[in-house]
């Protein structure tokens, strides 16, 4: 595998890269890798792996790619990690930067669950009926994905005047945002949603609203790119990468694990003769 990957990395063609996705994956507890994928419609592959997820890590990728190549990049997808945002803004200002839809939704779910957990603890401490106990996935799952029992439980709980219910409504309302086609209409909805969220007096929801306002233009770039590039592409590649790392956990060497990732996701040209171990 080492021979095949080494040959492929030396022979692969890095010209004409127009769209990239940047994310991090956890290799071991406390150890992260920054991964960069090419996400052009005609070619989706792993381009580069770097240890860590800070500014210096991502700068190494652009040094590796070279100024002539990275100035041709037209689209980049990433999450809200500040180190990535800073380097992207500096190195490829010409690219349309699309923020990761997956992480925006995940952050809203995290905020809702924070409210639910805190309120469930408070109700239990005051001796009230534990109506929120065991309702985590009732609130976090999409309504169409709820089981019959979960749907029934949710309908019962939302009838109470709970802080969790008031946090659940804006979280669900935000799903309408992704249905728009025109950036102008999407922006109008986003402004209205953020105003309502700030009036909710629920701090975790207000925190997410402030973050969305701060990164509004990067979020709207998804519509400007005609919805052709999104976090689903990067998350699918990340899923394959995480599966490969789980399979390679018997190896202690970080280098071997990175070789395994390139072997599975690099779409590398193969050598004319392949060696086998008998």
CA–CA distance, 222 with 214 (Å, rounded to integer): 16
Closest CA to 231 of 17, 21, 19, 18: 21
Residue 273 in domain: no
- Asked whether the predicted pLDDT for residue 85 surpasses 70, the reply is yes
pLDDT at 275 > cutoff 70: no
**pLDDT reading at 162 higher than 80:** yes
Sequence-separated (6 or more) residues with CB below 8 Å from residue 95: 73, 74, 75, 76, 88
**Residue 271 belongs to some domain of the structure:** no
110 and 199 housed in the same domain: yes
* Residue 276 main-chain phi, psi, to 5 deg: -125, 150
User: Quick check: 274 pLDDT over 70?
Assistant: no
At 229 the pLDDT is 85
Give percent above pLDDT 90 in the chain: 69
Q: Examine the domain organization and report whether 236 and 194 are in the same domain.
A: no
**Is position 272 within any domain?**
no
**In the predicted model, what is the mean pLDDT of residues 111-118?**
95
Judge whether residue 250 has pLDDT over 80. no
pLDDT higher than 80, residue 126: yes
Give mean pLDDT, residues 38-48: 93
Q: Are residues 42 and 180 in the same domain?
A: no
Sign, Cα dihedral of 5, 6, 9, 12: negative
Please state, rounded to an integer, the average pLDDT across all residues of the chain: 91
- As a whole number of angstroms, the distance between CA 109 and CA 115 comes to 10
Gap between the Cα atoms of 74 and 263, Å rounded: 27
* Confidence band of 185 (pLDDT split at 50, 70, 90): very high
pLDDT band for 273, please (50, 70, 90 cuts): low
More confident residue, 232 or 124: 124
265: nearest Cα among 28, 27, 30, 35: 35
Question: Quick one: pLDDT band at residue 129, thresholds 50, 70, 90?
Answer: confident
- Look at residue 128 and tell me if it is in a domain: yes
| Residue 98: pLDDT over 90 | yes
Q: Is the pLDDT of residue 278 over 60?
A: no
CA–CA separation, 10 vs 140, rounded Å? 46
Q: Within 10 Å of residue 85's Cβ, how many Cβ atoms?
A: 17
Q: Are residues 70 and 17 in the same domain?
A: yes
CATH of residue 78's domain is 3.30.420.10
How confident is the model over 141-159, as pLDDT tens digits?
Answer: 999 999 999 999 999 998 8
Phi, psi of 197 (to 5 degrees): -65, -40
User: Is residue 119 included in any domain, yes or no?
Assistant: yes
Residue 135 and residue 265 in contact, taking contact as beta carbons nearer than 8 Å: no
pLDDT of residue 178: 93
Q: Is residue 88 a contact partner of residue 65, using CB atoms and an 8 Å limit? A: no
Do residues 238 and 155 share a domain? no
Residue 99 pairs in a beta bridge with 78
What's the rounded mean pLDDT across residues 256-274?
A: 86
Say how many domains are in the chain. 2
Are 83 and 54 in contact by the 8 Å Cβ rule? The answer is yes
Query: For 53-75, what is the mean pLDDT?
Result: 95
> In which domain, by residue range, is 137 found?
101-214
pLDDT tens for residues 135-144? 999 999 999 9
Residue 190 has pLDDT above 60, yes or no: yes
Are 146 and 200 contained in the same domain?
yes
Q: Which whole number is the average pLDDT over 269-277?
A: 69
Instruction: Say whether both 41 and 67 belong to one domain.
Output: yes
Distances (CA, A) of 158 to 65, 142, 165, 167, 176: 52, 15, 6, 11, 20
Reduced to 3 states, what is the DSSP secondary structure of residue 176?
helix
Q: Dihedral of CA 179/180/186/191: which sign? A: negative
Q: Are residues 16 and 69 in the same domain?
A: yes
What pLDDT score does 112 carry?
Answer: 96
Token reading at 89: 């803004």
Q: Is residue 123 part of a domain?
A: yes
pTM of the full structure: 0.86
Residue 28 has pLDDT above 80, yes or no: no
Identify whether residues 146 and 251 lie together within a single domain.
no
């Amino acid at each position: 595998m080492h021979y095949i990957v080494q040959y492929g990395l030396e022979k692969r063609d890095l010209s004409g890269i127009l769209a990239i996705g940047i994310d991090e994956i956890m290799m071991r507890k406390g150890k992260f890798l920054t991964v960069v994928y090419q996400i052009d419609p005609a070619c989706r592959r792993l381009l580069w792996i770097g240890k860590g997820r800070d500014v210096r890590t991502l700068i190494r990728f652009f040094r590796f790619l070279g100024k002539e190549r990275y100035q041709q990049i037209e689209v980049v997808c990433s999450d809200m990690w500040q180190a990535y945002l800073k380097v992207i803004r500096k190195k490829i200002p010409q690219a349309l930067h699309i923020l990761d839809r997956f992480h925006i939704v995940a952050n809203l779910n995290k905020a809702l669950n924070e409210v639910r957990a805190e309120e469930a603890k408070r109700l239990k401490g005051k001796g009230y009926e534990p109506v929120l106990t065991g309702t985590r996935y009732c609130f976090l799952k999409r309504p169409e994905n709820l089981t019959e029992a979960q749907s029934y439980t949710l309908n019962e709980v939302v009838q109470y005047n709970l802080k969790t219910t008031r946090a659940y409504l804006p979280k669900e309302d935000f799903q309408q945002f992704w249905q728009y086609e025109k950036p102008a209409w999407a922006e109008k909805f986003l402004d209205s949603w953020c105003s309502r969220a700030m009036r909710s007096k629920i701090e975790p929801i207000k925190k997410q609203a402030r973050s969305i306002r701060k990164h509004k233009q990067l979020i709207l770039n998804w519509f400007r790119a005609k919805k052709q590039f999104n976090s689903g592409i990067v998350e699918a590649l990340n899923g394959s990468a995480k599966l490969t790392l789980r399979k390679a956990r018997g190896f202690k060497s970080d280098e071997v694990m990175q070789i395994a990732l390139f072997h599975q996701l690099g779409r590398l040209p193969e050598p004319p003769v392949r060696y086998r171990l008998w």
